């Protein structure tokens, strides 16, 4: 029967080319496996950053709505607690993001608060979430270098997706095959290919947007050299960002922020105000920007800017934005899945796990192939077990550390745990890779449950959200079930 | 709006994949109606999401939710087998084994890495310089093209056994691309 299909349609690449492309897929996948896996794991968890912040600080108020007066009060209170040249960024509750928050930032200062419905502020310093996002974005390396490496990882992932498709002539014949429990290699290959194919649009989008975000600095630098040799990178950034008003450090009273939000709402009746940004609060060169979003648009495209006296200096709506600006604004939203609320975050979480499995199974297939050919690589089997299952364990340990020793340096702890776990696994020559992987899985099962109970016990009396605790417990229960099932099968 | 749309797209993804799987089970391509029906459900719901939820938001949501729905169908159709050796007919193509030589490894790394990046930038920035329209849009198009082109260059240089040919093409692309982009930018 399969012969009929062969006659109807043939793979456009010759078998030898397929094998060459597969070899390229292998080389690239193996060279970048650990970094791709780390970026995928941290990215999958980072999707839940808004929930994780509330998980870390359970007493955080979650405003369902915020009146214009309460928004003005929050900004006034924030301005009192931040240096004069700091920008204040107020995020109002939206259908995609529960709760309101205020961030004060400048190159030398950064602080975040949760905003209650009456506009009062409470600290929202979520150290572990911050650590996780930076690990995903720049691996805690110097910013430009870290982002470049993560961008390069995105390119490697893109290339692996392309070569993976080109090297898969049985894409139709195996479209729905998922054969578990037989040959290890076949099981892993089925998982790798099915998850890779059916989630391809998502994985491609994620890799492309991630690569662009990571490589943006180098792209802008080279473009600036080419297009504006005299103006430099500043000139390129000026195309996308509005130039600030001329410096004037005289102190002036704050304008009536509530009235400005109402005015912005009146100017864009189809949109709802979602963010208020106050730059250089309390100075004569102050600028207040109200950004409003429409239900069907991915990013805010209604923007009203006021000067220190509350006079409108710019008013832009979707028709005023060129496609390039709209696309640029949407890249981060699409990458992190922060555009559609919990439903989208959960979906991104699931497909993120799928991408982690694709990466991990790629290496497992290579290891199994070596074993089948009589050239096993036990040391690499152990090291991969330490990366694949060890990294989630290390992340759990850093979360516990953040809970019990908030002053500890999380990047240093992560690095120490990672190096130790990999070294210990490489040196444990008497323990076979699969057994080590099981040990890591047991550790992860226990740590997920411990984290959930510790945080849940603290959050419940304060009326905090327990969504993350429920997810952690579910993960722990799932792992436990799979470990016990595996044990039963082995015994049978 | 997002929750009902998500659930609908999830169910639609599962339905589309279910129809495709039914035709796939027959193995002879005879169930053309099911193939067409499966794709109509998958693509139709994507279009509906783009129209009702938003052009980009709906499309992004559709691709994510339909992917999960389809994967659910794959998971439900899994088969569990007793441990066995891999049979010949089940074996996937094997990667090409090449004798490892250090200079080839170093050259390939250079080709897939820095040289591939330079060539991708040269082509992407040529597009940025010569494409008509607003400079911001041209910059974003060039920026989006660059990782894709670099990824393709990586795939090609690592797969092509004629390593000198790949080197020549990438060097020429870089020189010509940056030269043309520089000329266009200075004009």
DSSP-derived secondary structure for A137-191: HHTTS-HHHHHHHHHHHHHHHHHHHHHHHHT-TTTTTTTT--EESS-HHHHHHHH
pLDDT band at A127 (very low <50, low <70, confident <90, very high): very high
Which pLDDT score is estimated for B92?
Answer: 67
Instruction: Please say if the pLDDT value at position A2 is more than 70.
Output: no
Which pLDDT score is estimated for B7?
Answer: 97
How far apart, in whole angstroms, are the C-alpha atoms of residue A441 and residue A488?
16
Q: Do both B31 and B106 map to the same domain?
A: no
Q: How far is A245 from chain B (nearest CA, A)?
A: 22
Q: Is residue B142 part of a domain?
A: yes
Tell if the CB–CB gap between A5 and B28 is shorter than 8 Å: yes
Transcribe A58-124 into DSSP letters.
TT----S---HHHHHHHHHHHHHTS-TT-EEEEEPPBTTB-SEEEEEEETTEEEEEEE-TTS-EEE-
Average pLDDT in the A366-386 region?
93
Q: How far is A486 from chain B (nearest CA, A)?
A: 13
Residue ranges of chain B whose pLDDT lies below 70: 29, 83-92, 96-100
Question: Which residues lie across from A303 on neighbouring strands?
Answer: A291, A316
Question: Which residues lie across from A176 on neighbouring strands?
Answer: none
Tell if the CB–CB gap between A296 and B85 is shorter than 8 Å: no
Which pLDDT score is estimated for A234?
Answer: 86
Q: Is residue B92 part of a domain?
A: no
Of A167, A201, A239, the CB nearest to B63: A201
Q: Are A189 and A365 in contact (CB under 8 A)?
A: yes
pLDDT > 70 fraction of chain A, expressed in percent and rounded: 97
Quick one: which of A478, A470, A477 has its CA closest to A453?
A470
Tell if the CB–CB gap between B137 and A24 is shorter than 8 Å: no
Place of tokens 């999707």: A47
Average pLDDT in the A351-363 region?
97
Q: Does residue A402 belong to the interface with chain B, where contact is any CB pair within 8 Å?
A: no
Q: Is residue B86 part of a domain?
A: no
End-to-end CA distance of chain B: 50
Q: Are A119 and A66 in contact (CB under 8 A)?
A: yes
Question: How many domains, chain B?
Answer: 2
Instruction: Please say if the pLDDT value at position A202 is more than 60.
Output: yes
Quick one: which of A255, A262, A253, A254 has its CA closest to A68?
A262
Domain boundaries of chain A, sorted by first residue: 1-57+126-221+335-375, 62-124+222-334, 377-492
Query: What is the DSSP pairing of strand A100-106 with strand A287-293?
Result: unpaired
Mean model confidence pLDDT for chain A: 92
Q: Is residue B126 part of a domain?
A: yes
Chain A residue with minimum CA distance to B6: A343
Which pLDDT score is estimated for A466?
Answer: 84
Which pLDDT score is estimated for B85?
Answer: 60
Transcribe B45-102 into DSSP letters.
HHHHHHHHT-HHHHHHHHHHHHHHHHHHHHHHT-EE----PPPGGGPPPPPPP----H
Interface test with A, best of B65, B84, B93 (most A CBs within 10 A): B93
Cβ-based contacts under 8 A for chains A and B: 245
Q: Is residue B51 part of a domain?
A: yes
Q: Is residue B89 part of a domain?
A: no
Tell if the CB–CB gap between A19 and B94 is shorter than 8 Å: yes
Q: Do both B62 and B125 map to the same domain?
A: no
Q: How far is A219 from chain B (nearest CA, A)?
A: 7
Q: Which residues of A touch B53 (CB under 8 A)?
A: 296
pLDDT > 90 fraction of chain A, expressed in percent and rounded: 76
Q: Do both B45 and B109 map to the same domain?
A: no
Instruction: Please say if the pLDDT value at position A207 is more than 80.
Output: yes
Q: Do both B145 and B69 map to the same domain?
A: no
Q: Does residue B57 belong to the interface with chain A, where contact is any CB pair within 8 Å?
A: yes
For residue B182, give its domain range: 102-186
Q: Do both B72 and B140 map to the same domain?
A: no
Could you report the predicted ipTM of this complex, rounded to two decimals? 0.93
Chain A residue with minimum CA distance to B184: A227
Q: What is the pTM of this model?
A: 0.93
Q: How far is B4 from chain A (nearest CA, A)?
A: 10
pLDDT tens across A452-492, in order? Answer: 999 998 888 877 778 899 999 999 999 999 999 877 765 65
Q: How far is B80 from chain A (nearest CA, A)?
A: 5
Question: Which residues lie across from A121 on neighbouring strands?
Answer: A115
Average pLDDT in the A281-295 region?
94
Q: Are A96 and A330 in contact (CB under 8 A)?
A: no
Which pLDDT score is estimated for B88?
Answer: 57
Q: Does residue B30 belong to the interface with chain A, where contact is any CB pair within 8 Å?
A: no
Structure tokens at B6: 């998500």
Give CA separation, A8 vs A169, A490, B21, B41, in Å: 14, 44, 19, 24
Q: Do both B6 and B68 map to the same domain?
A: yes
Q: Does residue A169 belong to the interface with chain B, where contact is any CB pair within 8 Å?
A: yes
How far apart, in whole angstroms, are the C-alpha atoms of residue A395 and residue A129?
11
pLDDT tens across A9-66, in order? Answer: 688 888 888 998 998 899 999 999 999 999 999 999 999 999 999 999 988 889 999 9
Q: Do both B111 and B179 map to the same domain?
A: yes
Quick one: which of A441, A432, A449, A450 has its CA closest to A485?
A441
What is the three-class DSSP state of A278? strand
Structure tokens at B23: 């035709």
Q: Is residue B176 part of a domain?
A: yes
Q: Which residues of B touch A351 (CB under 8 A)?
A: 64, 67-68
Q: Is residue B108 part of a domain?
A: yes
Q: How far is A296 from chain B (nearest CA, A)?
A: 4
**Residue A288 dihedral angles phi and psi, to the nearest 5°:** -115, 125
pLDDT tens across B73-107, in order? Answer: 999 999 987 766 656 556 667 776 666 677 888 88
């Amino acid at each position: 029967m399969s012969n009929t299909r062969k006659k109807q349609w043939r793979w456009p690449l010759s078998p030898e080319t397929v094998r060459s492309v597969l070899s390229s897929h292998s080389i690239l996948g193996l060279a970048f496996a650990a970094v791709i896996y780390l970026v995928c794991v941290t990215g999958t968890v980072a999707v839940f950053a808004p929930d994780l912040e509330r998980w870390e600080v359970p007493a955080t108020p979650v405003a369902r709505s915020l009146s214009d007066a309460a928004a003005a009060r929050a900004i006034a209170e924030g301005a009192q607690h931040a240096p004069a040249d700091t920008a204040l960024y107020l995020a109002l509750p939206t259908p995609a993001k529960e709760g309101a928050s205020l961030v004060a930032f400048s190159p030398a200062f950064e602080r975040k608060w949760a905003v209650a419905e009456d506009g009062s502020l409470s600290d929202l310093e979520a150290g572990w979430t911050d650590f996780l996002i930076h690990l995903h974005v720049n691996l805690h390396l110097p910013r430009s270098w870290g982002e470049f490496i993560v961008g390069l990882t995105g390119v490697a992932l893109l290339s692996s997706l392309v070569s993976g498709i080109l090297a898969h002539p049985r894409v139709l014949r195996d479209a729905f095959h998922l054969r578990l429990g037989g040959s290890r290699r076949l099981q892993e290959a089925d998982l790798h290919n099915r998850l890779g194919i059916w989630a391809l649009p998502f994985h491609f989008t994620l890799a492309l947007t991630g690569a662009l975000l990571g490589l943006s600095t180098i792209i802008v630098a080279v473009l600036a050299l080419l297009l504006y040799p005299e103006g430099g990178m500043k000139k390129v950034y000026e195309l996308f960002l509005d130039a600030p008003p001329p410096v004037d450090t005289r102190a002036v009273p704050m304008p009536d922020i509530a009235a400005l939000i109402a005015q912005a709402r009146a100017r864009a009746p189809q949109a709802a105000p979602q963010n208020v940004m106050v730059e250089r609060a309390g100075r004569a060169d102050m600028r207040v920007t109200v950004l409003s979003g429409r239900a069907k648009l991915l990013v805010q495209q209604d923007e009203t800017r006021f000067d220190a006296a509350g006079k409108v200096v710019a008013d832009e709506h979707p028709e005023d934005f060129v496609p390039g600006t709209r696309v640029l604004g949407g890249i981060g939203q699409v990458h992190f899945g922060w555009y559609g609320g919990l439903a989208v975050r959960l979906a991104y979480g699931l497909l993120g796990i799928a991408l982690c499995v694709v990466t991990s199974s790629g290496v497992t297939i290579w290891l199994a192939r070596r074993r089948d050919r009589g050239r096993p690589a036990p040391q690499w089997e152990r090291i991969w077990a330490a990366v694949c299952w060890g990294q989630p364990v290390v992340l759990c340990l850093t979360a516990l550390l953040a809970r019990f020793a908030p002053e500890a340096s999380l990047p240093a702890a992560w690095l120490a745990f990672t190096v130790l776990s990999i070294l210990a696994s490489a040196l444990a020559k008497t323990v076979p890779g699969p057994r080590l992987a099981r040990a890591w899985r047991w550790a992860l099962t226990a740590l997920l449950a411990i984290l959930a109970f510790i945080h849940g016990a603290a959050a419940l009396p304060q009326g905090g959200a327990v969504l993350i605790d429920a997810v952690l417990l579910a993960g722990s229960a799932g792992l436990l079930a799979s470990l016990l099932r595996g044990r039963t099968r082995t015994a049978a | 709006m997002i929750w009902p749309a998500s659930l609908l797209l999830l169910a639609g993804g599962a339905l589309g994949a279910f129809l495709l799987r039914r035709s796939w089970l027959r193995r002879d391509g005879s169930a053309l109606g099911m193939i067409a029906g499966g794709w109509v459900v998958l693509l139709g719901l994507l279009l509906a999401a783009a129209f009702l939820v938003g052009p980009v938001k709906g499309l992004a949501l559709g691709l994510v939710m339909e992917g999960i729905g389809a994967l659910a169908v794959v998971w439900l159709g899994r088969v569990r087998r007793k441990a066995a050796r891999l049979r010949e007919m089940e074996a996937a193509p094997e990667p090409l084994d090449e004798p490892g030589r250090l200079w080839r490894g170093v050259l390939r790394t250079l080709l897939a890495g820095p040289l591939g990046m330079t060539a991708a930038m040269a082509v992407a920035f040529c597009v940025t310089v010569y494409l008509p329209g607003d400079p911001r849009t041209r910059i974003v198009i060039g920026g989006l093209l660059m990782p894709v082109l670099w990824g393709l260059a990586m795939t090609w240089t690592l797969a092509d056994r004629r390593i000198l040919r790949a080197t020549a093409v990438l060097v020429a692309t870089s020189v010509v691309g940056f030269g043309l982009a520089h000329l266009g930018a200075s004009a």
